[in-house]
Chain A
Amino acid sequence: MNNRNKYSIKTQLLSSLLIPLFCLSLLSAAVIYWLAINMSQGIHDELLLSAADSVLARINLVNNKVVVDLPEAAQALLKHHDKDKFYYEISKADGTCVFGENLFPNVAGTPGTMAPICRDDVIRGERVRIAAVDFPMPELNGRYLVVEVAETYNSRNGMAHQILLSVIILQTLFMICGAIAIWFGIGRGTAPLQAMREAIANRNPYDLQPLTIGYAPEEITPLVDAINLVLSQLRSHIDAQARFTSNAAHQLRTPLAGIKTYVGLGAKISKESKVVEIFEKVNGGIDRMTHLVNRLLTLARIERTIAQPGANIILDLNTIASDAITELVSYSMNREIQIDYFPSDAPAYISGDSASLRDLVANLVHNAICYTPENGQITVLIQNSEFIELIVDDSGPGIPLESREKVFERFYRVLGTNVEGSGLGLSIVREIVEAHRGKIELQDSPLGGLRVLVLLNKVYDLNAHSHELKKNEQNLISSA
């Protein structure tokens, strides 16, 4: 995921579409330019030829000499453009100039073709276009005369520049519009991929439910199906593993009960105080093992909650908490700790696994009792606001800020505490909270110790779950 930019469908599509588009656009610009130049050249040549014809029309023969009567005004008319210079000349077929300044280079074989032609040449160091028309002159023994007119390239070049500029502007606009269209097109095309990526990225790590991508196109559907297949396999693996853990833990309980029975019996019938003491130590060890076995069971339940969220039911956290705390009252009274419980006024409905949630409350309250000195105070509060809030306050030593994140790690113990425990309590609490997609925070308690704040998602739409609720209420009624 780190080198996410290394290979992007969007960039790849964009480059593989834009490069050919750019080449095509260059080619089409060249073709358009070439066509346009040719056409304009043709039109200009026509005009130049008609100018030559106009000169031809003004030819007179005076005393066997060729005279052209072309006033200044007519000359100006023959020019296409003020920028261009205009020349004309009349010569014999052999190239001898008969009228004009004899500027035109001689081209052998030009006359006699009876066809008007255009050609390029140079006059006074400037590139010119020359149109030549020949005609027979019977008065001059049937010889041909050639009329040549020439104009410089200024206006033709000007037009060529204009055409070039228009083509460039048009093609650039075309490229920009094309790129934008492709960009948006690709964006729309890859939107389901993006949606899928976001759906996966925004997931709670405990959420193994199938992905649902709205309007997944047929190219994406197999991918979504494949991911969902992996997810379902993962779910069944977790479920199988949890089932195994749960069975193993249950299987452990009977031999533990056996050992406890023998140890209890031994302690009872032994007359040696040292032996009794040893039995008591062994019993303490079994209790610790029992504790671990119970933790394993809790973990297995959490995993099954993750693997089968469908098995969750709607519960009132008030009832769960009151049950869990009631079971711990004798322990707290032994330690002379006062527990006050404030349930919420309205039922605190959440969706979850009742045994795990009971473990959650029991673990938090048990921790509070363990770490609170004698004659201390514990308050358990349930609030029904935007979330369902479970707050456990104690008057114990609290947890320093720097250790607050670490206490959630498995087997971490705050240094200097001499309380018995496996160090699994808070890590399990966090896993239960996260399996229920909730949040847990450690804060300072107004009682002077630690405050544990658990936020759980509230069930708003009770109607949607009324069936589950009914089922569950029956369970609660029968358990009361």
Chain B
Amino acid sequence: MKILLVEDDNFLSHGLQMALQETGHAVELSKDGAEADLLLAASTYDLVVLDLELPHMDGLEVLQRLRKRGHSTPVLILTAREGVKNRVQGLDLGANDYLTKPFELAELEARIRALLRKEHWGNQIEIVHGNLRFDPGGRRVYVDEESVDLSVREITVLELLLRRAGRVVNKDQLLDELASQEFELTYNALEIVMHRLRKKLERSQLSIRTLRGLGYVFGKA
């Protein structure tokens, strides 16, 4: 894959270039915001890894101009500034993901993989967790390759949890997303769905945990 890496720190950018090349990507390096903007306008990349504090043009502006030109190239932001406000601003301007420095190389690689996968196959890729397999095309769930009989509502809830496996999914968030997919559920109805899902997935190596006051987590049992 062709990746544009925009980072003005020589030490970090060379390390990242080496690491991404090692993974098999073609990496082009730019140390200047304005230059990156020109490169993005001139050629197409599969992914952009973008630092925010850049000479000549701020990373957020590079991103904004890219999106204004109608490009949907996935953008992963790297920044030394933390905080919800910065993250929100970046994501609002059309960034696809956000990493705060310093980060684990493995984490960066995983996020890049996820972004490239989404970009190429959309949401059509299978999700596998242990002995559980989810086929988004056929909307079927398999445990040990045996199909599990789930209602449409249960599948929708499970898919939302699977896509955020290991992370906490807030109840309100879950209900909002279900509502946007034409499933108006109450708190109680959601609890019943969770109860049924747990029973039906008993044989899988994964489970849905309730974190009181916080939401649900789909993860290792």
Known A256-B101, A333-B219: A261·B213 in contact at CB below 8 Å:
no
Whether the pair A258, B83 counts as a contact (CB closer than 8 A) is: no
Which B88-147 residues have a C-beta within 8 angstroms of A?
Answer: 88, 92, 100-106, 108
Q: How far is the CB of B150 from chain A (nearest CB, A)?
A: 24
Binds B, one of A225-233, A320-328, A428-436: A320-328
Whether the pair A257, B12 counts as a contact (CB closer than 8 A) is: yes
Q: How far is the CA of A333 from the CA of B207 in the complex (A)?
A: 12
The residues of B that contact A341 with a CB separation of less than 8 Å are 211-214
Q: Which of B15, B106, B166, B214 contacts A325 (CB 8 A)?
A: B214
Q: How far is the CA of A273 from the CA of B15 in the complex (A)?
A: 22
Q: How far is the CB of A189 from chain B (nearest CB, A)?
A: 52
The residues of B that contact A256 with a CB separation of less than 8 Å are 101-102
A-B pairs with lowest CB-CB distance, top 7? A264-B105, A341-B213, A261-B15, A258-B12, A257-B102, A257-B101, A340-B212
* Chain A interface size range: 35 or more
Q: Which of A254, A268, A269, A297 contacts B12 (CB 8 A)?
A: A254
Whether the pair B11, A255 counts as a contact (CB closer than 8 A) is: yes
Name the residue of chain A whose CB is nearest to the CB of B9. A254
A438 at the interface (CB under 8 A from B): no
Q: What are 19 A-B contacts defined by CB distance under 8 Å?
A: A250-B81, A253-B80, A254-B9, A257-B101, A258-B15, A260-B102, A297-B82, A322-B213, A322-B214, A326-B167, A329-B214, A333-B209, A333-B217, A338-B211, A341-B213, A342-B212, A342-B213, A475-B88, A479-B85
A238-267 near B? 1/0 per residue, CB < 8 Å? 000000000000110111111111111100
Q: How far is the CA of A380 from the CA of B81 in the complex (A)?
A: 28
The residues of A that contact B106 with a CB separation of less than 8 Å are 264
B189 at the interface (CB under 8 A from A): no
The residues of B that contact A250 with a CB separation of less than 8 Å are 80-81
Q: How far is the CA of A354 from the CA of B84 in the complex (A)?
A: 10
Whether the pair B84, A323 counts as a contact (CB closer than 8 A) is: yes
Q: How far is the CA of A342 from the CA of B92 in the complex (A)?
A: 31
Q: How far is the CB of A131 from chain B (nearest CB, A)?
A: 110
Name the residue of chain B whose CB is nearest to the CB of A327. B168
Binds A, one of B16-24, B55-63, B66-74, B151-159: B16-24
Q: How far is the CB of B126 from chain A (nearest CB, A)?
A: 23
A86-123 near B? 1/0 per residue, CB < 8 Å? 00000000000000000000000000000000000000
Q: Which of B22, B101, B104, B209 contacts A253 (CB 8 A)?
A: B101
Name the residue of chain A whose CB is nearest to the CB of B13. A258
Report the count of interface residues on B (CB-CB < 8 A): 40
Whether the pair A258, B11 counts as a contact (CB closer than 8 A) is: yes
Name the residue of chain A whose CB is nearest to the CB of B18. A265
Beyond A255-B9, A260-B103, A268-B22, 4 extra complex contacts between A and B, CB < 8 Å: A254-B80, A326-B167, A326-B215, A340-B213
Q: How far is the CA of A262 from the CA of B220 in the complex (A)?
A: 31
Q: How far is the CA of A338 from the CA of B87 in the complex (A)?
A: 28
Q: How far is the CA of A265 from the CA of B108 in the complex (A)?
A: 12
A359-395 near B? 1/0 per residue, CB < 8 Å? 0000000000000000000001000000000000000
B154-180 near A? 1/0 per residue, CB < 8 Å? 000000000000111010010000000
Q: How far is the CB of A104 from chain B (nearest CB, A)?
A: 117
Whether the pair A265, B19 counts as a contact (CB closer than 8 A) is: yes
The residues of A that contact B213 with a CB separation of less than 8 Å are 322, 340-343, 380
Whether the pair B15, A339 counts as a contact (CB closer than 8 A) is: no
Highest count of chain B CB atoms <10 Å: which of A260, A325, A338: A260
Highest count of chain A CB atoms <10 Å: which of B22, B78, B103, B105: B105
Whether the pair A255, B12 counts as a contact (CB closer than 8 A) is: yes
Q: How far is the CB of A152 from chain B (nearest CB, A)?
A: 106
Whether the pair B104, A264 counts as a contact (CB closer than 8 A) is: yes
The residues of A that contact B104 with a CB separation of less than 8 Å are 260, 264
